Amino acid sequence: MPTDTMTTVMPIEIAQRSERTRLPTKLEPVFEISALSVSYGSTPAIREVTFDIGRNMVTAIIGPSGCGKSTFIRVLNRMNDLVPSARVSGKVLYHGEDLYRPRVDPVQVRRRIGMVFQKPNPFPKSIFDNVAWGLRVLGMKDDLKGRVERALEQAALWDDVKDRLKKSALGLSGGQQQRLCIARALAVEPDVLLMDEPASALDPIATSRIEDLMHELKQNYTIVVVTHNMQQAARVADMTAFFGIEVLPDKSRTGVLVEYDETQKIFTQPSDERTEGYVTGRFG
C-alpha cells in the first residue's frame, strides 16, 4: 500500500497567498529627505529630518500636536512657500531632483504632487466643474468628460454622483465632498498624493471609506498621510514615521523624526521608548 510521504510540494494556493504581501520587499524611494529643517521666522518647526518615502505604498506621519507633521508634509509640495516667514533647509529629493533648488517652479511641483486637506474644500461650483477645473487650467482638455468620470471612479464617488454632475458640490455630504476633493486631485494625474489628516473632519463610516480608498489608490500612486489618529495609521499605512517633540537648549520646541519603520513593527515592537510611549497612549 502506498506510504503516505510527508515531503510534498506546497500546493499552489499557498504560494499565491505568500505573494499577497502588501509590503514590497524593497522600498523604491520617491522622496529622499536629508537633514530637512523648517522654521517660521525664528521659531523652529522641524529639525534634521532624514528618511525615504517609498513608491506605491502608504506612509503615515504620526505624532503629538506641535511635532511638525503638517509642516513636514507641506514641504513635500512646496505649499510652505505660501507662508512668507517659512525657511527650509536641507535636501528634499523627488525622483532624484532637489525640490528646493533655486530654479524649481513650485507650480510645476504641485502638478505632480497633489494634496488633499483636512477640511474638505470643494470649489463652490458644480461637481463636474470641480474636477474639470484643474484639467482645464493645466491644459488637459481632451476627453474632459472621460477624465472626470475616471477620476470620480477612482475616488469611489462616480456611482453616487453620476446623475447629478451639474449640481453644486456643496450639496454633498462631508465624506462625499472629501472624496470629490480626492477626485479633483487625481484628475490631473499626479504621481504622489499627500493627505493632511484627510478624515479627521469625517464620521467613522466616511473615514472607513477613505481608508479603503487609500488601500486601492496605493497601487497606482504614492500616498503620504498625516494623521493624529494612531489607529488609522496602524490600519492603513505600510510604513509609519513617528515625529516627536524635542526641547532645545533655549527652551524652544521643535519636531524631530524619532522612528521610521514598517507599521507592524511600530505597533508591535517599537525600537524607541518614545514611540512606545506615544502609541500606547501613555504620553503625548
Partner 1 sequence: MRVTLQEELDSLQADMLEEGDLVLRSLRGALNALRESDAELADEVIEFDDEVDRRYLAIEQGVEVLLARQTPVAVDLRLVLAMLHINLHLERMADYCVTIAKLTKLVADHDSEPGMIQAFEEMGSRGEEMIKVALDAFVDRDVERASSLVDLDELIDRANRRVVRHVLDLGPDPALSEWGLRMIVVSRCLERIGDHAVDIGEQVAYLVTGEFREFTDASHERQSSQ
Partner 2 sequence: MAADDEAQGLFVVDGRLRRRRIVNRVMEALATLAALVAVALLVIVVVSVVKNGWDALSVSFFTETPTFSALGESGGGIANSIVGSLILVTLATLFALPVGVLTAIYVSELAPRSVANVIRLALDVTNGLPTIVVGIFVFSAIVISRGQSALAGSFALAIIALPLIARSTQEVLRLVPPSLREAGLALGAPRWRTILGVVLPTSMGGILTGTTLAIARIAGETAPLLFTTSLAAMTVMWDPRDPVQSMPLTIFQYIEQPDPSYHAKAWATGAVLLAFVLVLSLCSKFFLARSRRRLSG
Binding site for partner 1 (CB under 8 A): 3-7, 13-14, 17, 20, 205, 208-209, 211-212, 215, 231, 234-236, 263-264, 267-268
| Binds 134: which of partner 1, partner 2, none (CB < 5-8 Å by kind) | partner 2
Q: Does 85 bind partner 2 (CB under 8 A)?
A: no
Nearer to partner 2, 83 or 248 (CB): 83
Do β-strands 192-196 and 239-247 pair in parallel, antiparallel, or remain unpaired?
A: unpaired
Q: Does 115 bind partner 2 (CB under 8 A)?
A: yes
The phi-psi region of residue 265 (left if phi > 0; otherwise alpha if psi is between -120 and 50; otherwise beta) is: alpha
Q: Are 64 and 244 in contact (CB under 8 A)?
A: yes
d(CA 242, CA 227): 11
Among 49, 172, 192, 266, binds partner 2 (CB under 8 A): 172
d(CA 270, CA 200): 25
Give me the phi and psi of 87, to 5 degrees please: -125, 125
Q: Does 124 bind partner 2 (CB under 8 A)?
A: yes
Q: Mask: binding to partner 2, 125-164, rule CB under 8 A, as x and -?
A: x-------xx--xx--------------------------
Range 89-99 burial, b when 16+ CB lie within 10 A, else e = ebebbbeeeeb
For 92, the enclosing helix (H) or strand (E) is strand 86-94
| Binds 110: which of partner 1, partner 2, none (CB < 5-8 Å by kind) | partner 2
- Contact footprint for partner 2 (CB under 8 A): 77, 79, 82, 107-112, 114-115, 117, 119, 121-125, 133-134, 137-138, 168-172, 181, 184-185, 188
